[in-house]
Amino acid sequence: MLDVLIVSLGSTHGLRRADEELRDSLERAGARTAIARAQAPPSTRTLMLTDLLWARAARAAATRALAQTPGARPPAIASHAPAIVYSSTTAALLWPRPGAVRFDAAAAGNRPGRHGLWQRPLERRRFAQAPLLLPWSEGGLREACAGAREGARALVLPVPVAPSAPPREGGEDAAGAPQASAKVPGRPDAERDIAAITYAANPVKKGLDRVLAAWRGVRAELSLAGELVVAGITEERLRAWGGPTAMEGVRAVGALAPDDYRALVRRARVFVCAPRREDYGIAQLEALADGCLLVTAPAPGPYAALPIARALDPRFVSANLQEALRTALADPRPDYALRAAEALRPFTRQAVDRLVAEQVLPRLLGSARART
């Protein structure tokens, strides 16, 4: 029998990873789980149509999974109907059955104006019907409709982050927080041989034009010989998108396997970004976990890494990205990585596992029993 079904939109690597982390955490808490993955629809020109096609794909995936549950009868009369977690509000919009909704950002925030004409009102209905809401961050909950914040149905459940390689020494402390070091595990600190790295699979949303402009300015000011590595975009696409000067002191590495990408992050001194909107900032949190300095422009949205970056070093958070990047490269504080590890305590896998075991799973199973 199945205890929890996760309906995964999986439209980005971050969403897929979040669903897999939730599945693993639920299983460590003793639940029997499965992931129903939506099949990616064809690309379209508008967000309204894109969301509709993804919502239909999520409904189809959920319906198939419920029908294939061993011994299952129709969900309305099932003796042991599993609890459902819809991963993203889009996955919940056309749900076949009510369930918990886990989301990084709500359509109320990231689908303004005509982009969310049908999604926003339906999202309000789904939030009102859901037995449990699981926003990734407090910012995500604040952006949702007022009804989502009423009562005690919402529980912030972050996506866990951890260093991508064992720390150089010390392991984890008693509370499960990594004893981070600014050094690359197994290498001297001098071998952080990449000056800066950024992730720009969506170059417009991620503000790659701002990052390139800041990099060009700092490289000229400091006479830097190092390079900016751009992940998520190929050299051909970067050259076509940014023009001939886009490649000066810049290396685009395309879409990488997660382990290969994190290996590059461990070699970088700075992670730099200037998103036009940020729904969470998992790449920024991972960079902090791997000992990078985080340089970022402020951005609207439930940007979970932004308050952490400000607390670690406010000089590195500025609309003047060039000045912030120059400061990080020329005047870093030596204890930055250790303080970053402390700031990431609530995001450790141990902390998230505890939250899932003590609060999330009991509420999921309780809501499933209430329906049967």
Q: What pLDDT score does 372 carry? A: 58
Percentage of residues in the chain having pLDDT higher than 90: 77
231 and 315 part of one domain: yes
Per-residue pLDDT tens digits for 108-148: 999 999 999 999 999 999 999 999 999 999 999 999 988 78
Average pLDDT over residues 341-358: 97
239 and 328 part of one domain: yes
Q: Per the domain annotation, does 45 fall within a domain?
A: yes
Q: Per the domain annotation, does 168 fall within a domain?
A: no
Q: Per the domain annotation, does 180 fall within a domain?
A: no
327 and 362 part of one domain: no
pLDDT of 208 strictly over 90: yes
132 and 242 part of one domain: no
Q: Per the domain annotation, does 55 fall within a domain?
A: yes
Pair type for strands 250-254 and 228-231: parallel
The domain spanning residue 295 has which CATH number?
A: 3.40.50.2000
Of 28-37, 159-168, 200-209, 249-258, which range is least confident? Answer: 159-168
122 and 208 part of one domain: no
286 and 357 part of one domain: no
Q: Per the domain annotation, does 167 fall within a domain?
A: no
Q: Is 294 helix (H, G, I), strand (E, B) or coil?
A: strand
135 and 194 part of one domain: no
Average pLDDT over residues 27-40: 97
Q: Per the domain annotation, does 47 fall within a domain?
A: yes
Mean per-residue pLDDT over the chain, rounded: 89
Q: Per the domain annotation, does 216 fall within a domain?
A: yes
Which letter, b or e, does each residue of 303-342 get, where b requires 16 or more Cβ atoms within 10 Å of its Cβ? bbbbebbeebbebbbbeebbbbbbbbbeebeeebbebbbe
145 and 247 part of one domain: no
Q: Which domain holds residue 250?
A: 189-345
338 and 198 part of one domain: yes
145 and 292 part of one domain: no
pLDDT of 222 strictly over 50: yes
- If one counts the domains in the chain, the total is 2
Angle at 336 between CA 155 and CA 320, to 5 degrees: 85
Q: What pLDDT score does 243 carry? A: 77
151 and 52 part of one domain: yes
214 and 322 part of one domain: yes
Q: What is the DSSP letter of 359?
A: I
Q: What is the largest CA-CA distance in the chain?
A: 70
Q: Per the domain annotation, does 13 fall within a domain?
A: yes
